[in-house]
C-alpha cells in the first residue's frame, strides 16, 4: 500500500459530526511525500489519509480516502477543513441542480448536450446568486415563462 513506505504522519486531527440522521467520526493523517510514486506525478508535496466511520440512517459504515496535495501544508486540521469545504460546496450545488432543476432526471444521452445543459444551469444559478436571489423552486417559478421578468433580471445584471 502507498502509506507503508511512509513514516509517522506529520500532523493528525480527529473530529466528530452529527446531524441529518448521521454521526460521523473522521481521522485525518497528513504525511510528507516520501512514497515511490510514478514519475509523472511531479510536485506532490503531501499525502493525506482520511478515515471516516460511524452511522448513516442507523447503518454503520467505514471508508478510507486518499488525497494528494501539491502544497506543503503542515496542518491536518487545515487539510480537513479544505476537504469539508470542497464537499460542502459540491453538495449544495448538486442539491440545487437536482432538487430544483431536476438534472439527475434528464433523459439527455448525448454528452455534449448534457454538458451544455449543465453549463447553462450553472450560469443560471450564478446569475440568481449575483442578483441576490436564492436558486429555489419559488425563484424558478417566478421566472418560468415570464420573459419580461427574466429580461429585467438580465438588465439589472448588466448594470452591475
Identify whether residues 82 and 114 lie together within a single domain: no
Identify whether residues 6 and 79 lie together within a single domain: yes
More confident residue, 126 or 47: 47
Q: Is residue 58, in this structure, part of any structural domain at all?
A: yes
Domain count, the chain: 2
Q: How many Å apart are CA 37 and CA 33, to the nearest integer? A: 9
Identify whether residues 36 and 9 lie together within a single domain: yes
What's the confidence (pLDDT) of residue 27?
97
Beta bridge partners, 49, equal 29, 66
Identify whether residues 20 and 52 lie together within a single domain: yes
Q: What is the mean pLDDT of the chain?
A: 85
Domain, as residue range, for 113: 103-159
What's the confidence (pLDDT) of residue 128?
83
Q: Do residues 51 and 83 lie in contact, with contact meaning Cβ atoms separated by under 8 Å?
A: no
Identify whether residues 76 and 11 lie together within a single domain: yes
- Which of these ranges, 36-50, 81-95, 119-133, has the smallest mean pLDDT? 81-95
3-state secondary structure of 12: strand
Structure confidence at residue 72 as a pLDDT band (50, 70, 90)? very high
- The cell 447553462 sits on which residue? 120
Q: How many Å apart are CA 63 and CA 26, to the nearest integer? A: 10
Identify whether residues 67 and 142 lie together within a single domain: no
Is 70 exceeded by the pLDDT of residue 91? no
Q: How many Å apart are CA 82 and CA 1, to the nearest integer? A: 25
Question: Of the ranges 3-17, 49-63, 82-96, which is most confident?
Answer: 49-63
Per-residue pLDDT tens digits for 2-53: 555 567 899 999 999 898 788 999 999 999 988 777 888 888 999 999 999 9
The whole-model pTM stands at: 0.60
Q: Do residues 68 and 46 lie in contact, with contact meaning Cβ atoms separated by under 8 Å?
A: yes
Identify whether residues 27 and 82 lie together within a single domain: yes
More confident residue, 1 or 77: 77
Identify whether residues 70 and 109 lie together within a single domain: no
Identify whether residues 86 and 109 lie together within a single domain: no
What's the confidence (pLDDT) of residue 48?
94
More confident residue, 29 or 132: 29
What's the confidence (pLDDT) of residue 152?
81
Identify whether residues 83 and 129 lie together within a single domain: no
Q: Is residue 97, in this structure, part of any structural domain at all?
A: no
Task: Please give the full DSSP string across 94-133, using - where no structure is assigned.
Answer: HHHHHHTT-GGG-----HHHHHHHHHHHHHHHHHHHHTT-
What's the confidence (pLDDT) of residue 40?
83
Domain limit, last residue, from 48, 66, 91:
91
Identify whether residues 61 and 11 lie together within a single domain: yes
Q: How many Å apart are CA 84 and CA 160, to the nearest integer? A: 32
Amino acid at each position: 500500500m502507498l502509506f507503508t513506505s511512509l513514516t509517522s504522519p506529520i500532523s493528525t486531527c480527529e473530529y466528530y459530526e452529527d446531524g441529518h440522521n448521521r454521526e460521523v467520526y473522521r481521522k485525518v493523517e497528513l504525511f510528507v511525500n516520501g512514497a515511490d510514486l510514478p514519475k509523472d506525478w511531479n510536485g506532490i508535496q503531501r499525502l493525506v489519509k482520511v478515515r471516516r466511520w460511524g452511522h448513516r440512517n442507523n447503518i454503520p459504515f467505514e471508508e478510507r480516502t486518499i488525497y494528494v496535495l501539491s502544497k506543503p501544508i503542515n496542518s491536518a486540521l487545515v487539510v480537513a477543513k479544505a476537504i469539508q469545504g470542497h464537499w460542502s460546496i459540491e453538495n449544495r450545488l448538486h442539491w440545487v441542480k437536482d432538487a430544483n432543476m431536476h438534472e439527475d432526471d434528464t433523459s439527455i444521452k448525448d454528452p455534449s448536450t448534457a454538458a451544455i445543459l449543465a453549463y447553462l444551469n450553472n450560469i443560471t444559478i450564478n446569475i440568481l446568486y449575483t442578483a441576490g436571489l436564492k436558486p429555489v423552486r419559488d425563484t424558478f417559478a417566478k421566472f418560468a415563462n415570464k420573459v419580461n421578468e427574466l429580461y429585467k433580471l438580465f438588465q439589472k445584471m448588466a448594470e452591475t
